[in-house]
């Protein structure tokens, strides 16, 4: 990718940043401080936060650390780091005791949302040099759940993101167990590939229905 193409991506991302900041609860006195799911904390449309919304912490970390074209005003702004940490701590407060998160349904323990959020949180921690024990302990708990669980469907993107999240957690903690689990997920993704390099994604059939051919 050329420098011009990277700048174009950065500019589009910066255009969306005000909207992202509008999605997060920025009130430190609010019990949902750090929640990126506006449908939950503001509109009260759902009674639990979607775990996939937790990925909002990474864009804040990226614009805090980097100077993108047209984004100098965000560089090293302390409030962005505070909000990224608040997002991770909100995720820790609302996760299941075993570290898993929900996505579409309460008590779902969705592997996709858990993996995607773990990757974005570990990457944000790396960029922001986060060393707060409570945040790291939560990420380890989430990683342990991901290391021990799977999903019924064959969703290659979930497995690939789980591998990336676990590899990042291994870098963050130095724990070889997460690195080994990441390698196992990569082996699975490669085993699912056909000779042309594709793998596709399938979900488990709904009881009482016939699978598509």
At 81-93, the pLDDT tens digits run 999 999 999 999 9
Which residue has better confidence, 201 or 132? 132
Q: How far is CA 75 from the centre of its chain?
A: 22
Find the helix or strand (DSSP H, E) in which 201 lies: strand 201-202
Domain ranges of the chain: 18-194
> Which 8-state DSSP code applies to residue 202?
E
- What are 204's two structure tokens? 């488990």
Cα angle: 75, vertex 81, 85; to 5 degrees: 160
- HSE-CB for 121 with a 13 A CA cutoff: 32
**How is the chain split among helix, strand and coil, in percent rounded to 5?**
60, 0, 40
Exposed e or buried b per residue across 30-58, where buried means at least 16 C-beta atoms within 10 angstroms of its C-beta:
eebbbbbbbebbeeeeeeebbbbbbbbbb
| Per-residue pLDDT band at 213 (split at 50, 70, 90) | very low
Give dist(CA 111, CA 161) in Å, integer. Answer: 10
Q: pLDDT per residue over 16-43, tens digit each?
A: 999 999 999 999 999 999 999 999 999 9
Query: How far, in Å, are 2, 23, 129, 173, 207 from residue 125 at the CA level?
Result: 27, 21, 5, 11, 41
pTM confidence score: 0.90
Question: 10 Å Cβ neighbour count for 94?
Answer: 18
Query: How far, in Å, are 56, 184, 200 from residue 192 at the CA level?
Result: 30, 13, 8
pLDDT at residue 109 greater than cutoff 50: yes
Beta carbons of 150 and 108 less than 8 angstroms apart: no
Question: 10 Å Cβ neighbour count for 158?
Answer: 22
Return the CATH architecture of domain 18-194.
Alpha/alpha barrel (1.50)
């Amino acid at each position: 990718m050329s420098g011009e193409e990277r700048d174009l991506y950065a500019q589009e991302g910066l255009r969306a940043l005000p909207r992202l900041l509008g999605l997060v609860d920025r009130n430190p006195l609010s019990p949902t401080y750090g929640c990126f799911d506006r449908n939950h904390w503001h509109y009260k449309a759902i009674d639990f936060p979607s775990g996939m919304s937790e990925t909002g912490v990474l864009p804040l970390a990226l614009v805090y650390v980097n100077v993108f074209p047209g984004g100098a005003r965000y560089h090293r702004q302390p409030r962005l780091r505070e909000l990224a940490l608040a997002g991770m701590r909100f995720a820790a407060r609302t996760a299941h005791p075993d570290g898993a998160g929900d996505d579409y349904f309460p008590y779902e323990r969705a592997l996709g949302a858990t993996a995607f959020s773990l990757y974005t949180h570990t990457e944000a921690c790396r960029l922001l040099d986060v060393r707060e024990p409570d945040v790291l302990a939560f990420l380890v708990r989430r990683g342990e759940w991901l290391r021990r669980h799977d999903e019924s469907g064959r969703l290659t993107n979930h497995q690939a993101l789980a591998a990336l999240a676990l590899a990042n957690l291994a870098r963050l903690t130095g724990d070889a167990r997460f690195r080994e689990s990441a390698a196992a997920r990569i082996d699975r993704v490669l085993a699912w590939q056909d000779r042309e390099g594709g793998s596709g994604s399938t979900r488990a059939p709904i009881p009482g229905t016939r699978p598509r051919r």
